Structure formats: structure tokens, C-alpha cells
Amino acid sequence: MKASGSEALRAAYPFASRMHGVQSSVIRDLLKFAQRPGIISLAGGLPSPFTFDVEGIQQATDEVLAHQPARALQYGLTDGQPALKQELARLTSSRGAAVTEDSLVVTTGSQQGIDLIARLLIDPGDVVVVERPAYLAALQTFALAQASLRTIDSDASGACVEQIDAVLDAAQAAGHSVKLIYVVANFANPSGATLTRERRLHLLQAAVARRVFVLEDDPYGELRSFGASVPPLIALASEVPGAADWCGYLSTLSKIVAPGFRLGWLALPPAVRDQAVICKQGMDLHSSTFAQEVAARYLATGRLEARLPSIRAAYRERNEALAAALDRHLGSRIEYNRPEGGMFLWARLNDPVDASEVLQHAIEEGMIFVPGSAFYADAPDHSTLRLSFATPAADELDAAVQRLVRALDRSLRRGG
Amino acid sequence: MKASGSEALRAAYPFASRMHGVQSSVIRDLLKFAQRPGIISLAGGLPSPFTFDVEGIQQATDEVLAHQPARALQYGLTDGQPALKQELARLTSSRGAAVTEDSLVVTTGSQQGIDLIARLLIDPGDVVVVERPAYLAALQTFALAQASLRTIDSDASGACVEQIDAVLDAAQAAGHSVKLIYVVANFANPSGATLTRERRLHLLQAAVARRVFVLEDDPYGELRSFGASVPPLIALASEVPGAADWCGYLSTLSKIVAPGFRLGWLALPPAVRDQAVICKQGMDLHSSTFAQEVAARYLATGRLEARLPSIRAAYRERNEALAAALDRHLGSRIEYNRPEGGMFLWARLNDPVDASEVLQHAIEEGMIFVPGSAFYADAPDHSTLRLSFATPAADELDAAVQRLVRALDRSLRRGG
């Protein structure tokens, strides 16, 4: 198959209007630099390979193929394999949210969970409220849904939910239908912030009062390094009359078992869950039964619970190492809030530079990060940057920050 | 999490307008009957478990986890794992279409391939041309895309492509933008028909002349029971100037390796492929790398090619057994075209009955099939039915047809 003149043709193809506003992720595009020899990447959100329990996954696969090969290799149910849903209900309940298997939909990673909710709820022009800054891949998905984005600020305590009412009022006054509030409540990507219990309750109250669905995306909740955990929104919903009907929970095995399974899950109120299953039928029939059955078997062994303390300890060590390196090498030239867990530290440069320009020098110095401007649905702050401490070891994090300092100095010499 | 009064709330949730016209698949809903003890199912399109090379898949998994665990368990590239794309390019080329790895996008089953193309091209109200009857799950996906469907008839030689011009003229005269022609060219689901070479060329000419993209969905091409294969549209495109820019090819590992991997692939012209990758980022980032690496390793062993002859022979035996049973037990009470391969036989009852009503009796008699009306985008023919010979053994197919006769007789006694 040969096709000619792709550039000329791009305009000629009758692409749908949703494709006009969607661009490739700058993070995924940055990953090609991450593979260069000698580069230390603080850009990606890739879990460190030491978290992969290869032996346990091998054993689980052996057992599945020995005892249930046809179940793992055949078509499956759209909402997910019963064995996996049982484990995911248990896992979700262990986080304080007592969900039933009937409320779950297994998704092809949490990305599909976001896309699924967007397709369920959003007509072009409908309003989605996100934090500023917000998870980049969610912004992409909402762009694909042709949503009209509104933002609320985020600080060290997470989304400033007291801004919600004003944002919703303004959107509704402008004739928009407000459909969804999307939040990452634990160690948010990119801000690293954790939403306080008070703010979670406030958010639920607003959701019920305004009849707007809230989706909590919780990929990192198990990776708490410091402090006490705060219950998920669907757990706190029992304290706010009516709230259980207006919130959903999304999580993933990517950060605690392996991204390669590409398995996430949604816990939803019944009517939303039923529609989600119908929508997912048309999207991919179901997620990989092979991956689901292996993951189910793995989770049933209890090996995850046994490993989580050491995974948490490793991320905590890196979290501390990155903060120490920033303090040591940059001092007052940088401001940041110390994340209580997860993989990301969000920082603001006090030097008069644009982080995108610093990145160009940083690549030459041998490190990469993601300029913070990529994470803003509106009014980007060009002095911000997202530093991931998930993948490099502690000494590499220190070396990376030293390289960042050199890149910063070069940017300043070039005139900011 | 408790939610109250789901029925009352269903109307209250502000679902997107795309959800109003989408229903759960009757086939997936029928599957619950397939699991009843004693039922012989001619309803599903499930490959027979004997086609699963459990030993080969176990070996491939062992090798992947022993040698490349981090690659199989980590995040991957949106367009697919390079090792799998290499194998899929080879497989596609062996079907007569010399594609490059650069033209491929790995999808979460062919269902996601259909959804991906729909999202790339279709704004609400845009026209998609399908066969009548057409693949049910594709109709669902086009409904989700809010496409306006137009149909062309299908006969024993596949889609009646000479109707295309009139259909496109009428749609354009009505002010619609015609975006896509979707066709299953080999042993179509549900019609079993294979599109002739002449019709394939005619279709490509129409696509170029009208600047409408043609997607060929080819899940069954390797399962030819009789006769000589016809090249895929993207192979024949070299004979029609400009056609390479206006057609794409979709296939899947579900019918030849295992549905449980949930892996399909698209071969696309460059500009369409680039947009498809951007769209897929927002949909699920990528398909399971674990499944992809295992499938790649499996395909690289050559075991598939060694097994295909016996898989084809088994389906041929069932194809013949079903036809013989229909001839033996129903004779002139049924009409059908003998499929040259694949999994489905499409039939029309000459008795004055509705196949949906016959199904109710058939369930009681201990067999199920899919009433043909489910496969029509317009003007359903209620005397049609789809019989799958993929799963039952030859003697079960004979028993199922005897039960179908009893169900038919009961329907007639009840007054048709």
C-alpha cells in the first residue's frame, strides 16, 4: 500500500471536527528523548520497573493457562471478567469505599475510563470543570469530546473547590450545560496535591446541589509516602445526602501492578454503570481477557499487599531525594509543595525564564522534565514544571537536578 | 457506595445525545442463554476453543517474561509494540497487501478499529454506507458516532456495489457529507458472502471518484474453506489510481490466535494513520503491551502458520456439516448461500414465521441462533437468521438443526 503526498492530503481528508482541536501529547512526544543514552528522565510517569513482580505474574499466568485457558483466551463480558471484578471490589473496599462488583466496569487502562465517561456525558460544547493544572491526557480526551473546559485553581490542598459555584454559575449563565467535574484527589498529576477531606465534602455538596457528575481519578492513592489517607469521594458520599448518585471512582492497576496489563476500573452509580457498559461494547467489546484473568489470579494471591510497603518505601525515598536535591542545588530559586505521595513534584521557577526554553537546554545537559504549561486548560503559567521522581534512583535524581541547574543558568545567560 | 432509584434517575442523568440511539447488542444479551446446560449455541461468533494454541501461548509468555519483562509490563507506544507491528506487517503482506510497519496502528480488537475510524471521520449526521445485512457491532459503533446510515444490498457475491453511486448521490443531494463505506469482504458477518474481485475494484473506483474512505474489515480472511482467495482492497488499490489514499484495512488476531488478547490492527494511508494515533492516545493510550508482546513472540515462532491448515479444516468440516443438516432436515423450507469460509451461514426461512418468534421456541428446544433482523440498519427482513457453525462440533450442529425444525413447527402451529 502506497499513499502519496500525506501533507497535502491531510487537509483533503474529511476528518471529523473533533480532530481539529486535538494534538499529540507533548509528554508522549518527549519520551523519544528519554530513550537517548545518558538522559535522566524526570518527564514520564512510568512506574519504576522494580515495582513489577515478574515472578508473581509468571506464576499467575502459568496457573491461568494451566487451569482456565479457554476462559483467558476467549471473548469475555463487556463489564469485565467476574474473577477480576471480585478482586477489584475487594481492593476498592480496602481503600474505604465498599463497592459491589455490580457497580464496576473494567476499562482498558484509566485512560479509557476517562474517555468512557466523557462519551457518556458530553455533547460538543458541554462544560467540563478541571483543575489548573490538570492531567494532560484527560485534557486531550475532553478535547476529543469537544468539551468546553472551565478551570478551578489548585493549591497545596488540592482543587480550590470553593471556586466551583462561581464557575458553574458563569457557565450556566452563558447557556452551557455543565456535565462533569474531573479531579485527581490524591497526589494529583501534575500538582502532587492531595484534596483535603473538607474540600472533598464540599465538592460532593456542590455536585448534588448542581446535579453535576464528579469523577475522581485515583491512580496513585496506594502510593502514599507521608501522612494519613483521606477516603475517596465515593466513600465520603455516605455523609452527603444524594451524593452517591453523582460521583464515580476511577482507578488502575498501572501504578501498583503493571501498566502493561492496561487495566483500570470504574465504580459507578447503577444507571451510569449500565450506560457505560453499552458504550464500552461499541468501543472495544471488552478489555483483554488474557490480561484480566492473569491480573485477577495475581491479585488473588495477596502478593500485591505484601509488596506494597516496599513499593511505597521506594517512592518515598525518591520523593525525599528529589526534594533534598532541589533544596540543596536550587534553594530559593524554586518553589514547590512537598507531595504526600505519588510520583510527581510540581514546582515554580523564581528565575525569569520560560520552562519550555529551559527544557531545550536541559536536553543538552542530559535531563528532561515536562514544562508545566502543557497542563493548563487556560492561562498557562510558563514558570512551572513537573518533575517525576518515579523512575530514576535517588543518586540519579540528584544528578538530574544538577543538570537542571546548569540548564537554568544557560537559559538565564541567553536572556531568559 | 449506594445509589437509589436507578430507574427514576436514568432519565435525570444528563447523558450525551449519542447515548439515546444506542442499545445493548442482542447477541451479547443472547450469550446468557448460551451458558445454560444443554443449549447448543449457533448464536455467537466465538472461535472454537480447539483453535487456541495454549502450549504455544504458554511458551511465548514464558519467553517474554524471562527475557523482556519490563518491556511487556511497562507503558508502550500508542501505535503498538514494534515487535508486534513487525509480525502484523508480515501477516498482512502474506495476504497480498504489502504494508509497512509505519502504516499500522494496533487496536484493542477490531471493534476499537471501527470505533477509531468512526471517531476520526464522523460528525453527527455524516453518512456511513453499510451492507444490508451488516455486522451488528459496527452498526452499534456507528450509532455511537451518530452517523446517518445508508445501505446497499448484499447477495451471494457480497455488497452490491453498483448501488453505491445512487446511494451517494441521494445522500449528497440531501445535504449530507458521506464519510465512510464499511465492508466485510470475506465471508461477511452475517451474510457469509465474499465480495468478488470485480466488485472490489468497482468499490475502489467509487471511493476515489467520490473521495469517500473505504474501510475493509477482514476478521475471517484466513478461514477460507473453499475456493481461491481474493486480494484485500488495499492490495487491489494498486490497480486503481489514487485508491491507496482512500482505503484502509482492519483485521484481528481474535479468529486465528485468541480473542482474549483483544488485539486488532489497522493499515492506513499516512495522514489517516497519523490522526488515528493521536485519537487513540485519548482513547486508551495504547493496547495491552503484555498481550502485544506475548502475541508478537507467538507469531514469530511460526506456530500459527503451522496450525492454520488444521483450523481451516475444522471450520470447513463444520461449514459442511451445518449445510448438510439444513438440507437434510429443512430442505426447501430454508434458503441459504453456502459460505466459502468464515463462521457464519445466513439463511432465509420460507415458512411464514418471524425468526425472533422462532428463537423463543428454539430456546425451549435447546438451541439458539441470532434473528437476522438485528443486522439491518433499515427495513429488516424478519424471515432471516444467522447460524454460526464456529463453536459446536458436527454432530451438535445436526442436533441443533433438528431442534430448530421443532421450534419452527411450534411457531407455525402457534400461527406464525
Among the partner-chain residues B49, B237, B245, the one whose CB lies closest to the CB of A74 is: B49
For A193, residues 6+ apart whose C-beta sits below 8 A from its C-beta are A154, A155, A156, A157, A158, A159, A187, A337, A339, A346
Exposure of B337 in the CB half-sphere (CA atoms within 13 A): 16
For A246, phi then psi, to 5°, come to -120, 15
Element spanning A158, H or E: strand A158-159
pLDDT tens figures, A222-251: 999 999 999 999 999 999 999 999 999 999
Nearest in space to B104 (alpha carbons), one of A14, A1, A173, A152:
A1
Interface test mutation site (partner B, options A93, A180, A284, max chain B beta carbons within 10 A): A284
Contact B57 A65 (CB under 8 A): yes
Rounded Cα gap, residues A78 and A81, in angstroms: 8
Residues 6+ apart with CB under 8 A from B295: B60, B84, B87, B253, B257, B261, B263
Cis peptide before A270 (omega within 30 of 0): no
Higher-confidence position of A32 and B93: B93
Percent of chain B with pLDDT over 90: 90
pLDDT at position B21 is 78
Q: What is the pLDDT of residue B5?
A: 45
| Average pLDDT across chain B, whole number | 94
Question: Which residue, B151, B130, B200, B156, is CA-closest to B345?
Answer: B156
Tell me the percentage of chain A whose pLDDT exceeds 90.
90
In chain A, the residue whose alpha carbon lies closest to the alpha carbon of B242 is A3
* Residue from A187, A370, A77, A261 nearest B44 by CA: A77
| Edge-to-edge strand ranges of the sheet holding A264-267 | A104-107, A264-267, A247-252, A213-217, A178-183, A127-132, A148-155, A158-159
Distance from CA of A38 to the nearest CA of B (A): 19
DSSP track, A373-392? GGG-SSS--TTEEEEE-SSS
* Interatomic CA distance for residues A183 and A158, integer angstroms: 9
CA B341 to chain centre: 14
Q: If pLDDT is split at 50, 70 and 90, which confidence band does B1 have?
A: very low
Chain A residues close to B15, C-beta within 8 Å: 120-121, 275
B140 touches chain A (CB under 8 A): yes
CB of B72 within 8 Å of any CB in chain A?
Answer: yes
Rounded Cα gap, residues A169 and B344, in angstroms: 55
Question: What's the pTM?
Answer: 0.95
**How distant is the Cα of B314 from the closest Cα of chain A, in angstroms?**
18
Nearest to residue B196, comparing CAs of B188, B204, B185? B185
pLDDT for B51-78, tens place per residue? 999 999 999 999 999 999 999 999 999 9
B28, B75, B269 ranked by CB distance to A46: nearest: B75
In chain B, whose CA is at the least distance from the CA of A55? Answer: B65
pLDDT at position A5 is: 46
pLDDT, one tens digit per residue, over B195-244 is 999 999 999 999 999 999 999 999 999 999 999 999 999 999 999 999 99
- Contacting A residues, span 87-126, partner chain B, CB-CB under 8 Å: 97-100, 103, 107-109, 111-112, 115, 119-123, 126
Q: In which band, very low, low, confident or very high, does the pLDDT at B6 lie, cut at 50, 70 and 90?
A: very low
Per-residue pLDDT tens over the stretch B247-295 = 999 999 999 999 999 999 999 999 999 999 999 999 999 999 999 999 9
Give A379→chain B minimum CA distance, Å. Answer: 22
Q: What percent of chain A has pLDDT over 70?
A: 97
Cα dihedral B143, B145, B150, B155 sign: negative
Chain A: residue nearest B178 by CA? A14
Residues of B in contact with A24 (CB under 8 A): 277-278, 281
3-state secondary structure at position B63 = helix
Q: Is the pLDDT of residue B31 over 70?
A: yes
Mean local confidence (pLDDT), B336-345: 96
Which three cell numbers, joined as nine digits, stand for B61? 509468555
Examine the pLDDT at B407 and tell me if it is beyond 50: yes
Place of cell 451438535: B396
- CA atoms within 13 Å, Cβ hemisphere of A315: 30
Q: Which among A328, A363, A302, A372 has a CA at the least distance from the CA of A136?
A: A372
Which pLDDT score, from 0 to 100, does residue B349 have?
97
Q: Which pairs from B358-361 meet CB under 8 Å and 24+ separation?
A: B358/B385, B358/B404, B358/B407, B358/B408, B358/B411, B359/B407, B361/B406, B361/B407, B361/B408, B361/B410, B361/B411
pLDDT tier for residue A21 given thresholds of 50, 70 and 90: confident
Query: How far apart (Å, rounded) are the C-alpha atoms in residues B131 and B127?
Result: 13
Average pLDDT, chain A: 94
Which value does ipTM take for this structure?
Answer: 0.95
Give the chain A residue nearest B140 (alpha carbons). A282
Q: Chain A within 8 Å of B14 (Cβ-Cβ)?
A: yes
Strands B264-267, B104-107: pairing kind: antiparallel
Percent of chain B with pLDDT over 70: 97
Which residues, numbered 290 to 319 in chain A, qualify as contacts with chain B under a Cβ-Cβ cut-off of 8 Å? 290-291, 293-294
Dihedral angle sign, alpha carbons of residues A149, A152, A155, A159: negative
Closest Cβ–Cβ partner in A28, A65, A70 for B58: A65
- C-alpha cell, B389: 457453525
Contact between residue B359 and residue B382 where contact means Cβ atoms under 8 Å apart:
no
pLDDT in tens, A243-266: 999 999 999 999 999 999 999 999
Q: What would the mean pLDDT of A390-404 be, rounded to a whole number?
A: 95
Name the residue among A16, A213, A260 with its Cβ closest to that of B119: A16
What residues 374-393 of chain B have any CB closer than 8 A to a CB of chain A? Answer: none
Q: Residue B35's pLDDT band (boundaries 50, 70, 90)? A: confident
Q: What's the full length of chain B, in residues?
A: 416
Helix (H) or strand (E) run with residue A104 in it: strand A104-107
Interface of A with B in 213-232 (CB under 8 A): 213
**Structural contact between residues B382 and B333, judged by C-beta atoms closer than 8 angstroms:** no
Distance CA A336, CA A345 (A): 7
Cβ distance B238 to A47 less than 8 Å, yes or no, reads: no
C-alpha cell of residue B220? 475471517
- B287-303 exposure pattern, b = at least 16 Cβ within 10 A, e = fewer: bbbbbbbbbbbbbbeeb
- Helix boundaries (H) for A68-175: 69-73, 82-94, 109-121, 136-144, 164-173
**Distance from C-alpha of A310 to C-alpha of A361, rounded to nearest angstrom:** 35
The 3-state DSSP class for residue B134 equals coil
How far is it, in rounded angstroms, from Cα B33 to Cα A42? Answer: 52
Instruction: Report residue A362 as a C-alpha cell.
Output: 536541559
Taking the Cβ of residue B18 and every Cβ of chain A, the question of whether any pair is shorter than 8 Å is answered with yes
Backbone torsions φ then ψ of B340, nearest 5 degrees:
-80, -5
Q: Smallest Cβ distance to B271: which of A2, A6, A291? A: A6
Write the residue in B19, B137, B288 that is nearest to A260 by C-beta. B288
Express each pLDDT in B156-166 by its tens digit: 999 999 999 99
Residue A416: pLDDT over 70: no
Nearest CA among B238, B195, B199 for reference residue B96: B238
The CB density around residue A356, as the number of other CB atoms within 10 Å, is 17
Tell me the pLDDT band of A4, cut-offs 50, 70 and 90.
very low
Looking only at Cα atoms, what is the longest distance across chain A?
A: 66
**Can you tell me the distance from the alpha carbon of A134 to that of A137, in angstroms, rounded to the nearest whole number?**
9
Across A132-150, average pLDDT: 96
Give the nearest partner residue to A237 out of B1, B57, B291, using CB atoms: B1
Q: What is the pLDDT confidence band of residue B194, given thresholds at 50, 70 and 90?
A: very high
B127: β partners = B148, B178
Question: B386: pLDDT confidence band, cut at 50, 70 and 90?
Answer: very high
pLDDT tens-place string over residues A353-374: 999 999 999 999 999 999 999 9
Q: Residue B33's pLDDT is what?
A: 83
Question: What number is the average pLDDT over the span A178-197?
Answer: 97
